[in-house]
Amino acid sequence: MGLLFDMHVHTRRHSPCSEIDETQLIRQAIKAGLDGLVITEHSYQWPQEELAELLQAAGEPTFLLFSGAEIFSDQGDILVYGISPEAVSQFPPGDEALHIIRRVQKLGGVAVAAHPTRAGLSYDVRIRNLPFDAIETESCNLKPHEQRLAWRLAESLELPGITSSDAHTLENAGAYAVEVDGPIHSMAHLCNAIRLRAFRARGKLK
C-alpha cells in the first residue's frame, strides 16, 4: 500500500474560482483518507513558508502538503510540479505549451495535461507532439465519457493517467487520488515517482 495523494486542488486564497477555505483543507483531506495533497492554484504556487504555516495551524505536522500550479497555455491547462514559485510566476498567461513543458522539465519538474478531454477546455490533436510526463484522466470536472476518452488518450500516448479531484469545493477535496510508492518527503520525491511511473491511479475514492 502506497501513499494516497490528491494532486490537483484549488483554494480560495489564490484561486478566485474556488470556494475552498484553506484552513479546513487538511482536515477534509485526512477525512477523505489522503496521506498528502498538492495545492495547484491557477498561475500561482504557494511558497514553502505559506505551506508550513497552514500545516502548523492544522496541527497535522506529518501530513504531506505540497504545492504545484496550474498554468494556462495556448493549447490547454498544464499542471506543473517541482519548480519554484518564482519560475511559475514567469510564465505569461497563454504561453506556448511546448515552451512551458520543456522549461518545467529542464528545471527538474514534471508537466501533466490537466483535463485534456474536458468539453470546451480540451486539447486538440497537437497534444500528440507535447512531451507530457502524464495526463489527468479522471477528476470531478471530467464527465464519465470524458474520463473514458482521457484514458484512451493516455493509452494511445503511452502516458500514465493521473486521477485527481481538481476540487473547487471542500467536499470534493480528496474525491480522487493516486497511490504513490513511498517514501515521499518532498515535491522532488513526488516528481521522481511520477517520472518513474511509481504510482497507480486510484480513481474515485468513495
Amino acid letter, 204 = K
Contact 8, 166 (CB under 8 A): yes
Peptide bond into 16 cis (omega under 30): no
> Which 20-59 positions form the footprint of Zn ion (CB under 5 A)?
none
70 touches Zn ion (CB under 5 A): yes
Q: Which is nearer to Zn ion, 6 or 166 (CB)?
A: 166
Q: Which is nearer to Zn ion, 103 or 118 (CB)?
A: 118
17 touches Zn ion (CB under 5 A): yes
> Which 146-185 positions form the footprint of Zn ion (CB under 5 A)?
166
Q: Which residue has the cell 502516458?
A: 159
How far apart CA 127 and CA 132 sit, in angstroms, is 9
Among the candidate windows 15-23, 56-64, 176-184, 188-196, which touches Zn ion by CB under 5 A? 15-23
Q: Which is nearer to Zn ion, 38 or 198 (CB)?
A: 38
Cα 149 to the chain's mean position, in Å? 19
For residue 189, the minimal CB distance to Zn ion (Å) is 23
Radius of gyration of the chain (CA): 15
* SS3 (DSSP) at 111: strand
Closest chain position to Zn ion (CB)? 17
Give residues in contact with Zn ion (CB under 5 A).
10, 17, 70, 166
